[in-house]
Structure 1
């Protein structure tokens, strides 16, 4: 499996340096560069687009959310993980709406961070369990067209549960979960469970 390149974006040089050293120990990941703000991140992408970005939110000049929005417009294949100390709901929703596919706290252990980056690189949505606690589930949206059982499954997918875990929690078979998920994706015109999870948390 080819190694994934990671761009680290943070206005604290010590954090950039520390993450660069720690992630360089991972055999399947390597740090292709660092940036101190959103504009520098965009400039790095113009030179050599990375596979993954660890993006701080609050930085001088262009912040991480604005940079995420612009990067996803120009390079939609780049997967962006917000790395921050902020857990408030507005920041989380703004990051997801900008196109981030992950939201991780700086307090995460490096081993866990590498694992989350791998999940991000494989197309999964990654939301730290502590972050999810600060999100209020959506109320009025297109989700209203779903049946109660379908909403139960969507909520658990948004929490990161596997089909097996959902089946166990709802006392149904994995086949039923798969079939119901297919129906949900068709109703909401989404491609996969990753899109579904992001869609869920973007709702207001």
Structure 2
């Protein structure tokens, strides 16, 4: 990004989205001191971020995951990266850099699948944040060290091998159905459902229905 008039790199235009007013104010003060970064706007909800991004056409949206009421950061990211901006600047899809305190496998996977360019933790040093913003503006992946380690570990971890019937039952389980409802939906006995569930629990290393669904989502085992 270069300013054709001055021949110098144009600043990276940032939209900050965080539902905590104090956190947002701290980020704005921090970014104001960052070289080559310009704050274009701030939002406290996902809906507000979508509206401002369409109008301001930022290069990067700094996105929190938990946004209180309304759509969350993952859904906001999905919509931002799917719809080009149509503001006064050139229409383009902004890059989304997640900045959050959450580093679970499920959160990381959901954000990346939604289209996030990077994933940073709020414990990062300012210099790391600034570097990640510049990297994201160029479309390069930026991950916190702990996040990168988790991503690599998940890639190396072999996925559990489930049978087609076990996948069918797991999919029904994820919709919240009980054993009797699953048996009716799949035209099998309730005892058969229980047998398959025990095998699913063993393969996924869990002992509850909620645990099985959570691991299945992390491992992308659900359709």
What is the TM-score when the length of structure 2 is the normalising length? Answer: 0.61
Within 5 A, what are the aligned runs for 1:1-204?
A: 1-60=9-68, 61-75=70-84, 77-135=93-151, 136-137=154-155, 139=158, 204=220
Q: CA shift at 1:27, angstroms?
A: 2.6
Please, which moves more after superposition, 93-102 or 72-81?
Answer: 72-81
Q: CA shift at 1:63, angstroms?
A: 0.5
* Partners of 1:50 and 1:114 in 2: CA distance: 16
What is the TM-score when the length of structure 1 is the normalising length? Answer: 0.66
* Partners of 1:109 and 1:73 in 2: CA distance: 30
Task: Between the two structures, name the one with larger relative contact order (CA 8 Å, sep ≥ 6).
Answer: 1
Q: CA shift at 1:39, angstroms?
A: 0.6
Q: CA shift at 1:64, angstroms?
A: 0.3
Report the structure number with the largest CA radius of gyration. 2
* Partners of 2:58 and 2:43 in 1: CA distance: 12
Deviation track 1:55-77 (CA, whole Å, cap 9, x = no partner) reads 00011211000000011111263
Distance change in 2, residues 1:203/1:122 (3 Å): farther
* Partners of 1:109 and 1:19 in 2: CA distance: 12
* Partners of 1:63 and 1:22 in 2: CA distance: 24
Q: CA shift at 1:112, angstroms?
A: 1.3
Deviation track 1:108-132 (CA, whole Å, cap 9, x = no partner) reads 1112100111111122111111112
Q: Contact between 2:80 and 2:93, CA under 8 Å: does it hold in 1? A: no
* Partners of 2:65 and 2:27 in 1: CA distance: 16
Residue segments in structure 2 that go unaligned for 5+ positions in a row: 1-8, 85-91, 160-217
Q: What does residue 189 of structure 2 align with?
A: none
Distance change in 2, residues 1:90/1:36 (3 Å): same
Query: SS of the residue aligned with 1:30?
Result: strand
* Partners of 1:110 and 1:129 in 2: CA distance: 14
